[in-house]
Homo-oligomer: A and B are copies of this chain.
Amino acid sequence: MRVPTGVAGFDEIVEGGLPSGRLTVVSGPPGSGKTTFTAQFVAEGLRRNEPSMYVTMHETQRQLVEDMSRYSFGFETLARSEQFHFAHLADSSGALNGNGATKPSVSTLTNKLVALANSRDVERLVVDSTMLLRHMFGTDEGVTRFVNALRSVDATTLLVSEMTDPTAYADEHYLAHGVVFFHNYLEGDGMHRGVQVLKMRGTAIDADIRPIEFTDAGLSVDGERTAVA
């Protein structure tokens, strides 16, 4: 019941992978690796022929593929698989999948997404991101209800959450089954990147920050070392 992410060094620190069928939140500053992490997660599913869905308000499929092209984990090829489903929840005028003047109903959008994921028997789901959900729904309460519903989806789900308030955890961090944080920290010779599994129910984890790098093959976690930041 563990779902391997395919990110080098990561699965080892979470007993083999993410908890099956559960929601994990991914947070961190801009450029810290959130999107790459979610793309590798989906790629690993497609490699195993699992129906996998990527729902984003941030970019088109073409842009995501382009962004991942510099890595060798083969996102472009895998994305052509029949098992890959992509939904882009924004149209080109900048309105977020709905008439800018009328806000989408939380229930409607939630039900649509849950139904969509369940109908395709999706096993892996990525939702990007809470920041744009906040703009779409207009209230924190709408976002919390959406996150709550996301937990009832059968798929193993990653939700990208930007820390719009860096001083406090948001509701989704408390609602999710797992929480993974990406960090930038200053040590000795310069800026370093790290990843921290803050929470993962039903899994033996520590909350240490481990060095992580962008390599040609994608993200790579050094499970042996700990950042003393």
Please give the residue numbers on chain A whose beta carbons come within 8 Å of chain B beta carbons, in ascending order: 29-32, 35, 58-59, 66-70, 90, 92-96, 100, 106-107, 110-111, 129, 131-132, 135, 138, 141, 144-149, 151-152, 162-169, 171, 173-177, 179, 184, 186, 188-191, 193, 196, 198-209, 214, 226, 228-229
Contact = CB atoms under 8 A, between A and B. Distances in A.
B165 A30 contact: no
A13 to B, nearest CB: 12
A94 B110 contact: yes
Contacts of A66: 202
Contacts of A145: 93-96, 100, 135
Contacts of A152: 92, 94
A4 to B, nearest CB: 19
Question: Majority SS of interface residues in chain A?
Answer: loop
A57 to B, nearest CB: 8
Q: How many copies does the complex hold?
A: 6
A191 B169 contact: no
B111 A93 contact: yes
Contacts of A32: 199
A35 B191 contact: no
